[in-house]
Structure 1
Amino acid sequence: MAVVHFVRVTPGEPPGSVEDKVGRLFDAAGLGELIEAGDLVAVKVHIGEKGNRTHVPARYVRPVVERVRERGGKPFLTDTNTLYRGMRSDAVDHMTLAEQHGFSLREAGAPFVVADGLLGHEEMEVEIEGEFYGRVSVAGVLADVQAIMAISHLTGHPLTGFGGTLKNLGMGFSSRKGKLAQHSKMPPRVDPKKCKGCGTCLRWCPVEAIEMRGKVASIDEGRCISCGECLAVCRFGAVTFNWDQGSEVLQKRMVEHAFGAVKGRKAGYVLFLTSVTKGCDCFNDPGEPLFPDVGILASRDPVALDQAGLDLVEQETGKPLSEWAYPQIDPNIQLEHAEKMGMGSREYELREVK
C-alpha cells in the first residue's frame, strides 16, 4: 500500500514555519533517498500566471532544492510553455515572469529552465500503452534528467475538475504538440443568451479563432485548438463545454501524458493544500481561497497523493472539492485511469508528521 505523509498548515502561519515543515515532510517521506550524486533533477513547479497570488511561493520550493543538493543532485526549476496567451507562452516571457515571482537561483536556490524550449517545440516522444496513445510528446528536457521532484498545488480546474499532481505532470510536462493532442476535437461553444459581447475571449484566444458576430462571440471550430482559455476567462458563463464527453477524454489523455513524463525516471511528489482556489494557477485571478489552508502532502505515489488530497479536503471542510469548484465534472476519472495505467494506487496509508 502506498504511503502518504501529511503535515498540517494553519491559516496565517509564518512563512518560515511552513518552509520548515516542507523540509521535515520531504525527509519523512524519504524523497531524498531517490537522489544519487550527479543526478540532474527537474523540480517541476508552476510559477503562476502574471498577477496570480495564490500559487505555491518560491520560498516553499527552496527546502526541496536544498535537500536535493545535499544529496549530491543538481536541481533546477522547470515548467513548460502554455498554449494560450500570457506571460508563459514563450521562454523569454516565461523566464522573465519566473524571476519576477521569485523562481530564481537567488530566492528559490536553483535556476529556472523552460522545459520545452523557446516556443514549446523541443520535445521527446515516449512509447506507452494507453487507451488513446501509443506514444506521447513530452518536454525535451526530460531526456536528460535522472529524477523529478514535482511540487504541485491542489486547485479546481474548469476542464478536469481539479488539478493536482497528475495535472502538473500531464499538462505541465507536455510539449506544445502534447498539449494540442490532449485538447483536440473538444471545442467549446458560446451561449448567445449569456454572451455580453465584452470581447474578453477574443483577446485571450491564442489562435484568433473567435470573432464577434453582431454582439455575440462566435468560435470557429476549424481554427479552435480547444485550449479552454475562453472558458476560463468568461465571467458570464457564456462559454460552454460538453462536460460528459469532453472532460472524461481530456482527463484520460492528460494522465497518459503524465505516465510518459515519469516513465523510467525516479520521482517524488509534494502537494500543497493551501490557498485552494476554484481556478487554477494559470489564471491571473483564480479567485479567493475556497476554505482555510489544510496542509501539505508528500509521497512517491502520485495517484495516492492526489487521492489523499481530495480526501483531506472533504474530511476537513465537510464537502468534496468538486462541490466547492466544478460539480459537473467527475474528478475520479483521472485517478481511476492513472491507477489503471499503473502509475500508482488510490489506496494509501496516511502518516501525519508532527
Structure 2
Amino acid sequence: MQPSKVYFTNLRTTIGVSQLDKLERLIKAAGIETIDFDHKLTAIKMHFGEPGNLTFLRPNYAKRVADLVKSLGGIPFLTDCNTLYPGRRKNALEHIESAYENGFTPFSTGCQILIGDGLKGDDDIEVPVRNGQYVKRAKIGRAVMDADVFISLSHFKGHEMTGFGGTIKNIGMGCGSRRGKMEQHAAGKPAVNEKLCVGCRQCAKQCAQSAFSYVGNKAKIDYEKCVGCGRCIAACRFDAIYGPNDDANEMLNRKMAEYAMAVVDGRPNFHISLVIDISPYCDCHGENDMPILPDVGMFASFDPVALDQACVDACLRQQPIPGSLLDDNLHKEGFCDHHDHFINTTPEAEWQSCLEHAEAIGLGSRAYELVEV
C-alpha cells in the first residue's frame, strides 16, 4: 500500500492571517475541493463537548469548514450521536442544549445541528462492515448515514481506554448509536480492588447503568447492568477500579475501527484533526485536566488511519508539560516508563491495536507522507 498524504500546518500566524485562514488553506491543499459537494448533504462529525469541559474544539473551526463546504455547493450540518453515560448529551434535546451552551448554534456555525441517532439514541441503521471480523453490521446514527458526504473534524487528545481519541474514535465510537456504543464496549468490564477503594462514590456518579452499590463502604459492580464503558475507571482517583480483561481495550479498539469503516465506506469522506489542548481524557468529561503536551498544529487527509498515525507520532515527539497528569505519573516513585506519552498518562489504555486493525481491514494506511502547508 502506498503511503497516504497527510497535510500539516503549525499554529503560528502572521498579521492578517488567522489560524482559521490557515485551517482553510490546509484543507484546500489536502484536496477537499476535489469532492463533488454540489447540492450534497454533508455531515460534519465533531464533538460538542460536555458542559463544564473547556477543551473541545471552538465553534469557529466548525464554521470555517461549514462555510467552505457551502462555497463548494454543499449543504453542511454538524452532527454527533448520543452518549451512554450520565451527563447532558444522552438524548437529543439535552444534547442540542449542551451544544448551544458551548457555542454551537446555527448562527455561530452557519449550519444546522442534527443529533445523528435521534431523540432517544435509538434511530440508527445497521450498516454492513466490509472485512469486519468482530462486527458484521454496525449500528450507526441514521442522520450520519443519510448524508451524501462525510467529514470528520476531530480534537486529538488522550483517552482513558483507547489511549488517545482522534479521527477513528470520533468516527467509530462517535457515530455509533447508543446500542452501537454498547456493542463496541461489550468486550470487557471493570473490576474493583477493595483494598484501594475508599468509598468516595465517584464511580457511581459516572455510571449511567446504576451498576454500583456499596458494601462496607466498598464499591461493588452489578455485571448484569454494567456495559463496560470504562467511565468509572477514569473517575476513580485511587486506582481502585481497573480492567481485568487484558484484551478488552484491544477488542474495543478493533470494533471501533470496524465501526469507522462502516461509516466512511463507499462515499466521499475527508478528515481534519486539530492537535491542540491535548487533555488526558475525552471531551465527554464534564471537567478537563490541564494539557499533557504542548499544542502541535492542524492535520488533514483523506486517510483516517494515516491521519491518526501522523498525529500520534507528532505527539510522541513532544515533551510533557510540567505539572500535568503525565508529568506527575513520570515522577511517581517506581513508575514504569512506557516511553509513550498516552500510555504513561493512562497505563490501562492501549492504542496500537486500533491502527493495526484499521489498516488490516482496509480503512487506510499507517504509512504516510507528511506535507507541510
TM-score (norm: length of structure 2): 0.90
Take 1:217 and 1:242, find their aligned partners in 2: how far apart are those partners? 16
* DSSP 3-state at the match of 2:247: helix
Q: State the partner residue of 1:322.
A: 342
Mapped contact 1:190–1:239 kept (Cα < 8 A)? yes
2:250 aligned partner: 248
Structure 1 stretches lacking a partner, 5+ long: none
What is the rounded CA distance, in whole Å, between the counterparts of 2:250 and 2:99 in structure 1?
A: 32
Corresponding residue for residue 88 of structure 1:
89
1:121–1:321 distance in 2 versus 1, CA, 3 Å = same
Offset of residue 15 of structure 1:
12
Quote the offset at 1:232 in angstroms.
2.0
Q: List per-residue Cα deviations over 1:179-214 (Å, max 9, x = no partner).
A: 111111411011111211111221221111111112
AA matched with 1:322: F
Which deviates more, 238-247 or 323-332?
323-332
CA distance in 1, matches of 2:8, 2:341: 18
* Residues 200 and 234, structure 1, Cα contact 8 Å, conserved in 2: yes
Tell me the amino acid that sits aligned with residue 98 of structure 2: L
Equivalent-residue separation in structure 1 for 2:309 and 2:299 (angstroms):
11
Q: Which residue number in structure 2 is paired with residue 176 of structure 1?
A: 178
Name 1:305's counterpart in structure 2: 307
The aligned counterpart of 1:46 is: 47
Is the CA contact (8 Å cut-off) linking 1:184 and 1:226 kept in structure 2? yes
Q: What's 1:123 paired with?
A: 124
Using the alignment, how far apart are the partners of 1:191 and 1:16 within structure 2?
53
Comparing 190-199 and 313-322, the one that deviates more: 313-322
Aligned-partner residue type, residue 227 of structure 2: I
Which deviations, in whole Å up to 9, do the C-alpha atoms of 1:242-279 show, x marking residues without a partner?
A: 36211111110111111111121211000011000111
- Is residue 359 of structure 2 the alignment partner of residue 336 of structure 1? no
Structure 2 match to 1:101: 102
Per-residue deviation, 1:228:
1.3
Name the counterpart of 1:33: 34
Unpaired runs of 5+ in structure 2? 321-338
Closer, same or farther: CA 15–332 of 1 in aligned 2, 3 Å = farther
What percent of counterpart residues are identical? 39
Q: Are 2:186 and 2:227, in contact at CA under 8 Å, matched by a contact in 1? A: yes
Q: Secondary structure at the match of 1:255?
A: helix
Aligned 1:113-192 pairs, distance under 5 A:
113-128=114-129, 129-192=131-194
Mean CA deviation greater in 75-84 or 307-316: 307-316
- Distance (Å, rounded) in 2 between the aligned partners of 1:206 and 1:13: 47
Letter in 1 for 2:176: S
Residue 193 of structure 1 corresponds to 195
Match of 1:221 in 2: 223
Query: Any conservation in 2 of the 1:35–1:68 contact (CA below 8 Å)?
Result: no
Distance 1:313 1:121, change over 3 A: same
CA distance in structure 2 between the aligned counterparts of 1:254 and 1:321, rounded to whole angstroms? 21
- Report if aligned partners of 2:161, 2:348 keep a CA contact under 8 Å in 1: no
Q: How does 1:252-271 map to 2 (within 5 A)?
A: 252-271=254-273
Cα deviation, residue 315, structure 1 = 2.4
What is the distance in 2 between the residues matched to 1:260 and 1:234?
A: 33
Q: Does 81-90 or 21-30 show the bigger shift?
A: 21-30
The residue aligned with 2:296 is 294
How many residue pairs align between the two structures?
352
Quote the Cα distance in structure 2 between the aligned partners of 1:298 and 1:8. 12
Q: Specify whether residues 88 and 106 from structure 1 end up closer, same or farther in structure 2 by C-alpha distance, changes over 3 A only.
A: same
1:316 partner SS = coil
Any conservation in 1 of the 2:42–2:148 contact (CA below 8 Å)? yes
Worse-superposed segment, 146-155 or 235-244: 235-244
Paired AA for residue 302 in structure 1: P
Matches of 1:119 and 1:261, distance apart in 2: 20
Cα deviation for residue 136 of structure 1 reads 1.1
Residue 104 of structure 2 aligns to a residue whose secondary structure is coil
2-structure distance, mates of 1:14, 1:212: 59
Partners of 1:38 and 1:20 in 2: CA distance? 25
CA distance in 1, matches of 2:179, 2:101: 28
Partner of 2:334: none
Give the whole-Å Cα distance in 1 for the aligned partners of 2:16 and 2:41.
28
CA contact (8 A) 1:243 1:328 kept: no
Bigger mean CA deviation after superposition, 234-243 or 218-227: 234-243
The one-letter code matched in structure 1 to 2:307 is: L
Give deviations 1:78-128, integer Å, cap 9, x for gaps. Answer: 000000010111111100011111111111111111000011100001112
Provide the rounded CA distance (Å) in 1 between the counterparts of 2:358 and 2:305.
Answer: 7
1:243, 1:329 within 8 Å by CA — same for their partners in 2?
no
> 1: distance between equivalents of 2:284 and 2:224?
25
CA RMSD, Structure 1 to Structure 2 (Å): 1.9
Q: CA deviation at 1:223?
A: 1.3
Inter-CA distance 9–39: structure 2 relative to 1 (3 Å threshold): same
Confirm or deny: 8 A CA contact 1:4 1:308 kept in the other structure: yes
- 1:210 corresponds to: 212
